[in-house]
Amino acid sequence: MEEPNTLLTIVGLVIIISIVAMLIMKKISPVVGMILIPVIGALVIGHGFGDIRKYVESGIDQVFNVAIMFIFAIIYFSIISDSGLFRPFVRGMIKLTRGNIIIVAIVTTIIGTFAQLDGAGATTFLLAIPALLPLYRALKMSPYLLVLLLALSAAIINMVPWGGPMARTASVLKVDNINDLWYQVIPIQLVGIVLAILFSIYLGIREKRRIAKAFPNEDVVKINMDEIIANYEKDQEENATIKGEATKHTYILWLNLILTVIVVAMMLLDIVPPEFAFMLGVAIALPLNFRDVDEQMERIRAHAPNALMMAAVILAAGVFLGILNETGMLESIALSLIAVLPTVVGPYLHIIIGVLGVPLDLLTSTDAYYFAILPIVESTASQFGVPSQSTAFSLMIGNVIGTFVSPFAPAVWLAVGLAEINMGRYIKYAFFWVWGFSILMLFIAILMGIVTI
Give the phi and the psi of residue 18 in degrees, each rounded to 5. Answer: -60, -45
Higher pLDDT, 395 or 214: 395
Which of 296, 281, 238 minimizes the C-alpha distance to 118?
281
Segment 148-156 mean pLDDT: 91
Give the Cα separation of 294 and 329 in Å (integer): 49
pLDDT at position 329, please? 84
- Cβ-based neighbours of 302, under 8 Å, separated by 6 or more: 78, 241
Segment 385-401 mean pLDDT: 89
What is the 3-state secondary structure of the chain? CCCCCHHHHHHHHHHHHHHHHHHHCCCCCHHHHHHHHHHHHHHHCCCCHHHHHHHHHHHHHHHHHHHHHHHHHHHHHHHHHHCCCCHHHHHHHHHHHCCCHHHHHHHHHHHHHHHHHHCCHHHHHHHHHHHHHHHHHHCCCCHHHHHHHHHHHHHHHCCCCCCHHHHHHHHHHCCCCCHHHHHHHHHHHHHHHHHHHHHHHHHHHHHHHHHHHHCCCCCCCCCCHHHHHHHHHHHHHHHCCCCCHHHCCCHHHHHHHHHHHHHHHHHHCCCCCHHHHHHHHHHHHHHHHCCCHHHHHHHHHHHHHHHHHHHHHHHHHHHHHHHHHHCCHHHHHHHHHHHHCCCCCHHHHHHHHHHCHHHHHHHCCHHHHHHHHHHHHHHHHHCCCCCHHHHHHHHHHHHHCCCCCCCCCHHHHHHHHHHCCCHHHHHHHHHHHHHHHHHHHHHHHHHCCCCCC
Give the Cα separation of 74 and 247 in Å (integer): 22
Side-chain half-sphere of 25: how many Cα atoms within 13 Å? 9
What is the 3-state secondary structure of 204-255? HHHHHHHHHHHCCCCCCCCCCHHHHHHHHHHHHHHHCCCCCHHHCCCHHHHH
pLDDT at position 423, please? 75
Higher pLDDT, 118 or 446: 446
Cut 0.85: pTM above it: no
Q: What size, in residues, is the chain?
A: 453
Is 230 a residue whose pLDDT tops 70?
A: no
Which of 265, 281, 269, 259 minimizes the C-alpha distance to 69?
281
Segment 366-376 mean pLDDT: 77
pLDDT at position 1, please? 47
Is 378 a residue whose pLDDT tops 90?
A: no
* CA separation, residue 137 to residues 130, 211, 223, 419 (Å): 11, 12, 10, 10
Segment 269-292 mean pLDDT: 86
The fraction of the chain above a pLDDT of 90, given in percent, is 18
pLDDT at position 236, please? 58
Give residue 310's pLDDT band: very low, low, confident or very high (50, 70, 90): confident
Give the Cα separation of 414 and 412 in Å (integer): 5
Give the Cα separation of 1 and 23 in Å (integer): 34
Higher pLDDT, 299 or 188: 188
State whether the Cα torsion 69-394-392-365 is positive or negative.
Answer: positive
Identify residue 437 by its one-letter amino acid code. F
Give residue 240's pLDDT band: very low, low, confident or very high (50, 70, 90): low
The CA radius of gyration of the chain, in Å to the nearest whole number, is: 23
pLDDT at position 445, please? 92
**Is the CB of residue 341 less than 8 Å from the CB of residue 392?**
no
Per-residue pLDDT reduced to its tens digit, 312-342: 877 887 888 788 888 888 777 767 766 676 7
Give residue 187's pLDDT band: very low, low, confident or very high (50, 70, 90): very high
Give the Cα separation of 75 and 307 in Å (integer): 7
